[in-house]
Amino acid sequence: MNLKNKVALVTGASAGIGKAIATKFAEHCCNLIITARRVNLIDELSKELTAKYGVRVITIENDIRNFENVKIAFDSIPDELKKIDILVNNAGLARGLSTIQDGDINDWEEMIDTNMKGLLYISRLVLPIMVAKSSGMVINISSIAGRAAYPKGNVYCATKSAVRTISEAMAIDLNGTGVRVCNIDPGMVETEFSLVRFHGDSEKAENVYKQFTPLIGEDIADIALFVATRPGHVMIQDIMVTPTDQATAMVVNRK
């Protein structure tokens, strides 16, 4: 499948993996709807991608935790771009790293609302469009954290496990509609992820990626591009990708 003149909606495109996927899709002539809360960052990206690749990009300031906000954002998409071909459910975060008995309730709420409810809200609005045109693709960015819990990862791991189950459920419910679903589980990718997890503590965040070579956003974007460009009869359902030095969430070969 060629991405030329297709439309992809990428959530969380202001940084990291989402920004890399939006950029990769634009390189392949895909029109874009990109969303995030930091609208200045997506506006900048939009200008850059339009100038470089001549694609149409619209930006939507959106906090995916609030359904009303998501619905208003969705309704603002111009009709000619509403026929979304690819939905990349990427926006997400980890907040804090603590035992469940010491967990911060606000951190829990933020992860559950963003990673699970936000993903469901936007999917609920986009999927009927795909079903109506008997084609489309959803790429859910879950995590290796969704495959097995790791120490102090508790609620983040649970939200990503939920994303994995939602991906499975989508593939079942959408069977026969022509809409494809892919779940991607990355291991460690160097983005703003750890900075967000540690509430802006850059020293702690940098330590996460020290003494080994982590993945970068472009590595995940390459995979998303491969998934999105398979012929219509091919559905890649599930991918796990880690740095070569990472075997499981916790087994990392640091030199």
List the catalytic residues: 156, 160
> Contact with ligand NAP (CB under 6 A): which of 27, 29, 37, 204?
37
Rounded CA-CA distance 183/174 in Å is 14
Taking the least distance from each CB to ligand NAP, the nearer of 164 and 180 is 164
Using the rule CB under 6 A, give the single segment among 2-10, 26-34, 35-43, 80-88 that binds ligand NAP.
35-43
Residues 6+ apart with CB under 8 A from 66: none
Size of the site for ligand NAP (CB under 6 A): 28
Check residue 31 for interaction with ligand NAP (CB under 6 A). Answer: no
Per CB under 6 A, 158 contacts ligand NAP: no
Q: Restricting to residues 191-220, which ones interact with ligand NAP according to CB under 6 A?
A: 191-193, 196
Q: Which of residues 47-66 bind ligand NAP (CB under 6 A)?
A: 62-65
CB 5, min distance to ligand NAP, A: 25
Q: Is 186 in the site for ligand NAP (CB under 6 A)?
A: yes
Contact 205, 197 (CB under 8 A): yes
Task: Let me know: does 120 contact 128? Beta carbons within 8 Å.
Answer: no
Alpha helix (H) ranges present in the chain? Answer: 16-27, 39-53, 67-75, 105-111, 119-132, 154-173, 193-197, 202-208, 217-228
Binder of ligand NAP out of 57, 155, 189, 221 (CB under 6 A): 189
Of residues 117 through 146, those in contact with ligand NAP by CB under 6 A are 141, 143
Measured from the CB atom, is 61 or 135 closer to ligand NAP?
Answer: 61
Q: Give which of 52, 65, 1, 63 is closest to 22, Cα–Cα.
A: 52
**C-beta closer to ligand NAP: residue 44 or 232:** 44
Which residue type occupies 179? V
State which amino acid sits at residue 149.
A
Hey, which residues between 72 and 101 contact ligand NAP (CB under 6 A)? 90-93
H helix or E strand, kind and range, residue 57: strand 57-61
- The type of residue at 124 is R
Task: Find the length of the chain.
Answer: 255
Question: In angstroms, rounded to a whole number, what is the distance separating the alpha carbons of residues 169 and 165?
Answer: 6
Stretch that binds ligand NAP, among 7-15, 50-58, 123-131, 223-231 (CB under 6 A): 7-15
Which CB sits closer to ligand NAP, 5 or 207?
207
Q: In a 10 Å sphere around its CB, with 0-12 CB exposed, 13-18 middle and 19+ buried, how is residue 183 labelled?
A: buried
Q: Which residues bind to ligand NAP, rule: CB under 6 A?
A: 12-18, 36-38, 62-65, 90-93, 114, 141, 143, 186, 188-189, 191-193, 196
